[in-house]
Amino acid sequence: MIDSWDRAAFKARVDDTLSAFLTAETAELLSIDPDLKPVAEQVRLAAAHGKRLRAAFCYWGWRAAGQPDSEALLRAAASMELVHAAATVHDDLIDDSPRRHSRPTAHIALLEPVRGRPGAAAAARSLAMLVGDLLMALAGQLFISSGLPAAYLARARPLWSALARELIAGECLEILRTAGPPDTQDSLKVIRYKTAKYTVEQPLLLGGLLAGASRRLREGYSAYGLPLGEAFQLRDDLLGLFGDPDRTGKAALDDVRGHRPTALLAETWKAADGTQREHLRALLGRDDLDDRHLATVRSLMTELKAPQRIEHMITARAEAAARTLHEMDLPRQARCALADLARSATDRLH
């Protein structure tokens, strides 16, 4: 067991936990019928990537409340990564995204086993939906079978329900507001419920509740976690359009092609004049966009200083989280780890 924060060592522990759990679970799936092999493979692949930030925030929510390192807690924390895997499979399906982590997304990869059938695309999308559903169910199973005492798990159960409800609410809001009038506050609400809360605040709170953290400490977790989670997703939106697809693993034009309600688009729209809005409107939602269109959108956004305003939003939220962290009465090791995680969440290269 580790006594000092080593992010790489922690990630390796989470990876090992998830690999062992999913190997056993997909073996059970394959025992039903070997034709389920493509589905089992997508379950494993969906959870095979990431920095394990969500597991880390849950772990340090536990440790900051005075609890020691624990393999049972690590298993509970690893369940946060399965929540994330489920969310990404569903999100890619909803957005019809072709790639994630430089690989075909689940609904694209699952075309292969149904290729040549009538309605193959719809069948592949249905399979991907079920992969996401299974991942969410497995997240709950890993959490409750973590080995933590039942009384500890009972403290966290209401928040687990809230996490699922709010994550789904965020996805629904994004769908409902896609192709609608761009509005920064609407976009920030989508960010808050679709990503921010389950990325930082809720994993921290789950760790804290499992540990028996005081109300005051949990309030500090929320004051630190919510703005940091929003900064994380704002950074993700910037990288999605301005980042290198070879590093992000995603198609740079996805948000424009999907006319998604991002804060970056809303800030661009707010600053644009009538002619610029018409130019942007002609591009949003088109499925034939190419690199020339990407250059045009980037140029317009840069001209209107929209990325700069998003950077200001990220900085303001990161600073608010840092102030809260400084004011909280935490063990030194936990404070250092949470500061390191904050930097990792907001200063990502991909």
Q: What is the pLDDT of residue 350?
A: 41
Query: What is the domain extent for residue 243?
Result: 149-350
Same domain, 168 and 308: yes
pLDDT at 258: 80
Give the per-residue pLDDT at 312. Answer: 97
Q: Could you tell me the CATH number of the domain that includes residue 194?
A: 1.10.600.10
Q: Do residue 194 and residue 340 come from a single domain?
A: yes
The residue ranges of the chain whose pLDDT is under 70 are 1-4, 348-350
Confidence at residue 3, expressed as pLDDT on a 0 to 100 scale: 47
pLDDT at 179: 87
How many domains, the chain? 2
Domain boundary among 147, 162, 184: 147
Domain boundary residue among 147, 179, 195? 147
Same domain, 178 and 254: yes
Q: Has residue 34 been placed in a domain? A: yes
Residues 163 and 280 in one domain: yes
Whether 203 is covered by a domain: the verdict is yes
* CB within 8 Å of 332: residues ≥ 6 apart: none
Residue 60 lies in a domain: no
Same domain, 174 and 95: no
Do both 190 and 329 map to the same domain?
yes
CB atoms within 10 A of CB 141: 14
pLDDT at 209: 98
Q: Is residue 103 part of a domain?
A: yes
Query: How far is residue 156 from each of residues 81, 161, 206, 303, 305, measured CA to CA in Å?
Result: 17, 9, 6, 47, 43
- The pLDDT value recorded for residue 4 is 60
Q: What is the pLDDT of residue 66?
A: 95
pTM: 0.94
Same domain (yes/no): 114, 219: no
Q: Is residue 202 a part of any domain in this protein?
A: yes
Give the pLDDT of residue 254. Answer: 79
